[in-house]
Amino acid sequence: MKKFLFVVTKSSIGGAQMFIVEQTKMLVENGHEVFLITNKDGWLTQKLIHILKNVYVHRGIEKLTSPSFCYKVYKFVKLNKIDLVICNSANAGLYGRVGAFLANKPSIYVSHGWSSLYNGGKLAFLYNFIEYLLSFISNSILCVSKNDYATAVNKLGINSNKCSYIPNAISSVSINPANSNSNLKFKLVTVCRLDHPKLPFLLVNSVKEMSDFDLTIVGGGPLLNDLKKYIYKNDISNVKLLGELNDFSDYSNFDIFCLISKSEGLPISAIEAMSFSLPLVLSNVGGCLELINNNGFVVSNDIDSIQDAIRKCSLEYSKFSLNSLIHFNNNFNINKLSQRYLDYYINVVKKSA
């Protein structure tokens, strides 16, 4: 039995948090203990409340620099005799790795898309350099897409010997793939946090003139109210906002999944949609292309490209639907990848001993 500590900046729902949920369940099922450090009680802590060994919540993780919080992580690692620290998101990546280093324990940084590169703005060069420096005290960098791996090595200059690739994976669901769509309208769905780098306005503008398609947007965030006002002001009748739903799994009531964004790692919401046999329409960013195998399209972030992909998915719906489920089961089902993850974690611990 090993003790694993996940560190993530925010406990609100998101791709990194969903990754932690899947990994925690897998580790506990295999007899290990899992601990968590995050900013506050929220979606993540509630989701795992019955299986986490110990949780430490502190707002200090939200600060860009806090030496005192590094010390708090160090103390938590020492007190709980943690074997491996697994860091997710930028702030957590800093505090988790420094805390593990001070405690002389191994750490892994999980890249869910390199935010230092895509979201750093004018300071991207500085954040990239910090990631490069932090790689020296990381025992391993886990990339959830091939694109993230290539970015780490070729753009950030991280030693390839430090980098590993295992794709995001989730639990399977028991459904029968759809063979056809008998509805008068195709039902589109997107599930994401309505904030940068997502582009919900572009998706709405792409769909609003497509009278034979309805779009449902699931997610909360800073753009939600502006999106509501825009839809009302322009009398857009085929777009519905559901807001944030903590445990959304209603993919079976939809036909096509869309995710339009400026950057991505390997989006778990798209993988969830695949597990329900939904064809995909994704922006051609990050690792999204790796989710496409004759089950949908990656698109440019423009209206014509998005509309064209949606219509093509509807025309060959049965084929794309079946292929989505096949691609999921072959490559993103955690039942097939769990041993690969377990071996990876244990090998990092052994090599550091």
User: What pLDDT is attached to residue 353?
Assistant: 82
| Separation between Cα atoms, residue 165 and residue 350, nearest integer Å | 19
Tokens of 244: 């944030």
Lowest mean pLDDT among 157-161, 232-236, 242-246: 242-246
pLDDT, one tens digit per residue, over 304-342 is: 999 999 999 999 999 999 999 999 999 999 999 999 999
**Is the same domain home to 230 and 104?**
no
**Is the same domain home to 12 and 69?**
yes
User: What pLDDT is attached to residue 91?
Assistant: 93
User: What pLDDT is attached to residue 137?
Assistant: 96
- Judge whether 174 lies within some domain: no
pLDDT, one tens digit per residue, over 188-228 is: 999 999 998 999 999 999 999 999 999 999 999 999 999 99
- Judge whether 178 lies within some domain: no
User: What pLDDT is attached to residue 182?
Assistant: 56
- Judge whether 7 lies within some domain: yes
Tokens of 35: 């601990």
More confident of the two residues 32 and 64: 32
SS3 145: coil
- Judge whether 175 lies within some domain: no
**Is the same domain home to 221 and 340?**
no
**Is the same domain home to 110 and 154?**
yes
Other Cβ atoms closer than 10 A to 170: 22
**Is the same domain home to 190 and 267?**
yes
- Judge whether 319 lies within some domain: yes
SS3 110: strand
Does 121 have pLDDT greater than 80? no
Q: Of 76, 287, 49, 253, which is closest to residue 166 (Cα–Cα)?
A: 287
**Is the same domain home to 33 and 87?**
yes
Instruction: Output the average pLDDT for the chain.
Output: 94
| Separation between Cα atoms, residue 255 and residue 183, nearest integer Å | 10
Read off the amino acid at residue 130: I
Confidence of residue 299 (pLDDT cuts 50, 70, 90): very high
Domain that holds residue 51: 3-169+334-352
- In this structure, what CATH number is given to the domain that contains residue 21? 3.40.50.2000
**Is the same domain home to 110 and 240?**
no
**Is the same domain home to 348 and 317?**
no
| Separation between Cα atoms, residue 228 and residue 241, nearest integer Å | 7
- Judge whether 181 lies within some domain: no
**Is the same domain home to 164 and 224?**
no
- Judge whether 177 lies within some domain: no
Confidence of residue 181 (pLDDT cuts 50, 70, 90): low
**Is the same domain home to 40 and 121?**
yes
Per DSSP, the residues of 184-244 read SSEEEEEE--SSTTB-HHHHHHHHTT-TTEEEEEE--STTHHHHHHHHHHTT--SEEEEE-
Per DSSP, the residues of 75-96 read HHHHHTT-SEEEEESHHHHHHH
Could you give the number of structural domains in the chain? 2
Confidence of residue 174 (pLDDT cuts 50, 70, 90): low
| Separation between Cα atoms, residue 306 and residue 299, nearest integer Å | 6
**Is the same domain home to 242 and 192?**
yes
Does 117 have pLDDT greater than 90? no
**Is the same domain home to 141 and 249?**
no
Q: Of 240, 248, 213, 247, which is closest to residue 224 (Cα–Cα)?
A: 240
% pLDDT > 70, the chain: 96
Q: Which helix (H) or strand (E) holds 21?
A: helix 15-29
| Separation between Cα atoms, residue 243 and residue 216, nearest integer Å | 10
213 within 8 A of 281, measured Cβ to Cβ = no
| Separation between Cα atoms, residue 276 and residue 270, nearest integer Å | 10
